[in-house]
Each structure stands twice: as C-alpha cells, then as structure tokens.
Amino acid sequence: MMIGIEPNRPAVVPRANAQLGNDNVLHMDEKNVGDSRPDQTHHEGGFRPMAELIEARASESDTLIGGPHYGEFIEQVRELMDRARLANPSDELAKETIVALEQLNARLDEAVVDEWSSPSWTRTDLPARGNITLPPYTVVSGDRDGVTAKVTFRTFHLGGNQAAHGGHISLAFDDILGMTAALATGAVTRTASLTVDYRSVTPLNRELTVRAHAERRDGRKVYLKATMHDGDRLCAEANGLFIVLKPGQP
C-alpha cells in the first residue's frame, strides 16, 4: 500500500513493526492477531496498534481490506455529495432519489462493521486514507521533520462564492497535523488546540499544498504549525497543540 513517503527518507511510524520497503509500501515484520488492544507495557493509548490498521490486510489473503474497488466506491460517494450540495431537485426527482437511497442504505447496512474493521482511514493507497469525512488529500512526503500533502476541496466543501468552507479547511489541517504529530513522536496523539488563520480565499477544485511540521515538544505536549498555499499564495495557516496519549487513554 502506497503512503507517498519519499523512498530515500526513512518513515517514522507508530510501532516499530511497520517499515517502508523498497516498493515504497508499508510492511509489517510481525502480525497482530484478533481484537487484542495494547497493554500497559506496549501501548498506543487506548487505540488498536496502528501498524495493524495501516497494514489492513484481509485475514486470509493478500487483498487490501475493502477490496480493489473500494477507492471507486469512495469516489462515487464523493460525487454524490458534490451533486447534493448544489442540487435543486423537482419533487419527482427528490422522491425517486429518496427511494433509491433508502434501498442503497439498506443494502449497505449488510456491510457495516466496527471501527477497527473498517477500511476507512486505513487505506493509505487512497486519498485521505479512504476516509469519506475528510477533504481528499495525498501525502507527497512525510517523516519526522514534517509532512507535505496535496489537498483539493470539492463542491461539497463549498462555503460560499466558490470558496472552501472554513470548517473543512480546519478539518484538513487537523488530520494532516495529527499525522505530522504521529511521525514526529512515534506515538498516538489527540488534538488539544487548533487555531486557524484564514489569509485569503481558499478555492474549490484546485490542488493546494499543505506543509506541516512539529516546532517543539514539551513532555506530552507537541506544538505544530502548518500552511496551505494555492501556488505562491497563502490561503491559511494553522497552529496546533497535540497531546501524546497515556497508556490506555482513549
């Protein structure tokens, strides 16, 4: 599974049993079996071992969890969200769509799994790790020194006048800074504070560049900074405080 980290720079990821191979793919050198959670000696807060989630392999095959069409599944859902954002349907079309969506939701109920078994946010080969709740972004490079990513806000993320909504901008910053904190510390963290300054209009449907890095660490506190650019123009910048979790802390 691709994670977009430069092959000549070592990846620093939570759990030592995940490593970047010559194929630019994260691999494990040991397997975690079943639904075990971290213990007090080797832990990642109250989370399941992250290397296990990143690997995200089917239990009895070498197929990516969610299957080869999961990426297209996510893309089609995003297309639906984009259209719904600006749709002004007739009553007939609305009723027709409601029936179709009710049937589809009933069908998808059969595939709903628990948080730890879902492909969402563990498919590192897909934009935003396959997480439909995030603006889609891809990681260009990432290591202990920082993360560079490309993000595109779509029609669904519209705030007004063809500009991205500030809340979606904050969401993108929060997730990318969380990844940056994990790479900088080798641990699982949670957001304690996030401050975003909006410097200029953030456009839709354009590939923007986010650069993030950890500025310093004070015990469990990790202070981070990120910028978002449209070419040379600064759209927004963020300052975050993330906290490294204690053993068993949710």
Domain boundaries, the chain: 46-126, 134-249
Beta sheet of 233-244, edge-to-edge order:
137-143, 146-152, 207-218, 221-230, 233-244, 189-198
Burial class (CB within 10 angstroms; exposed 0-12, middle 13-18, buried 19+) of 73: middle
With respect to CATH, is domain 134-249 assigned 3.40.50.150?
A: no
pLDDT tens column, 84-121: 999 999 999 999 999 999 999 999 999 999 887 888 87
Beta bridge partners of 191: 242
The reported pLDDT for the residue numbered 60 is: 41
Closest to 151 measured CA to CA, from 236, 29, 217: 236
Closest to 3 measured CA to CA, from 179, 214, 212: 179
Phi, psi of 54 (to 5 degrees): -65, -40
Asked whether the predicted pLDDT for residue 31 surpasses 80, the reply is no
Burial class (CB within 10 angstroms; exposed 0-12, middle 13-18, buried 19+) of 133: exposed
Distance CA 174, CA 181 (A): 10
Q: What is the pTM of this model?
A: 0.80
Phi, psi of 172 (to 5 degrees): -65, -45
pLDDT tens column, 208-228: 999 999 999 999 999 999 999
Asked whether the predicted pLDDT for residue 250 surpasses 80, the reply is no
